[in-house]
A = this chain, B = another copy of it.
């Protein structure tokens, strides 16, 4: 592994790259155990979709925007400029307005995809995505500008979503306990919602985000209940016809790599049985 602290960018190879792949295979096996369908979304999401999800009201500082050059004349000027000397930046005056962003979490693409749908059945969906969060400072494999997140999402009726989240919270804890992994489950507040939204108060009254924290501090997974926030924002209706409820379980791959390597080394073939990929022995929902 190598890490550029200034930019928050990690490069993994060999054993580290294998471990990242293994971890995602493990999370996918947990997703498969609950019947989640895998989606592969584009690595960018529209500004409009993220705004609908409440991003600009909550996390605008995370913004990593994506923009092409303004026009072909501007592109032509870069040919000349590159001949005259090194190019180390593309000034904002050369860019078009940005209509896409690199998302700060994997699940936004899911709500956007199902926008305007009337669901006949409750949904379980999983996806892996490169995520981006601009921060003041970065740390290898724990706080990065770019990182990988696997999410497993349930959208539908309240009871289904609650059972999905309760089941996952319990099974995750049992799996890690049986591996002898040092962790705590802690309630967290996360401004998923517009700060003026009364649901933020509800979130504070009754926690809707539980984090699995390694050695008490590094959040390696979170279990999130969004109530019907995304159902309303994206006009997704559940079988009852009302705004769908949703919840997600999120795994940060680099953070799992850090903590599992510290506990068990980087040879995942020798990991405890509950962290191995089998016929879901230890992880049946």
Q: A interface vs B, CB < 8 Å?
A: 2, 7, 9-14, 16-18, 20-21, 37-44, 46-48, 51-52, 54-57, 60-61, 63-70, 72, 75-76, 78-79, 81-83, 86-93, 95-102, 109, 113, 125, 130, 134, 145-146, 194-196
Residue among A21, A40, A48, A57 having the largest count of chain B Cβ atoms under 10 Å: A40
Residue among A42, A55, A72, A89 having the largest count of chain B Cβ atoms under 10 Å: A42
User: Number of copies of this chain in the oligomer?
Assistant: 2
Q: How far is the CA of A78 from the CA of B47 in the complex (A)?
A: 12
- Known A67-B95, A92-B97, A99-B88; contact A56-B43, beta-carbon cutoff 8 A: no
- Known A67-B95, A95-B98; contact A87-B11, beta-carbon cutoff 8 A: no
Q: List 18 A-B contacts (CB under 8 A).
A: A7-B100, A12-B40, A13-B125, A20-B40, A42-B146, A46-B88, A48-B87, A57-B79, A60-B76, A60-B79, A61-B75, A64-B66, A66-B66, A67-B67, A67-B95, A79-B195, A92-B93, A92-B97
Partner of A44, one of B9, B75, B101: B9
Whether B81 contacts A56 by the Cβ 8 Å rule is yes
Q: How far is the CA of A12 from the CA of B125 in the complex (A)?
A: 12
Whether B146 contacts A87 by the Cβ 8 Å rule is no
Query: Whose C-beta in chain B lies nearest to the C-beta of A45?
Result: B9
Q: How far is the CA of A183 from the CA of B76 in the complex (A)?
A: 35
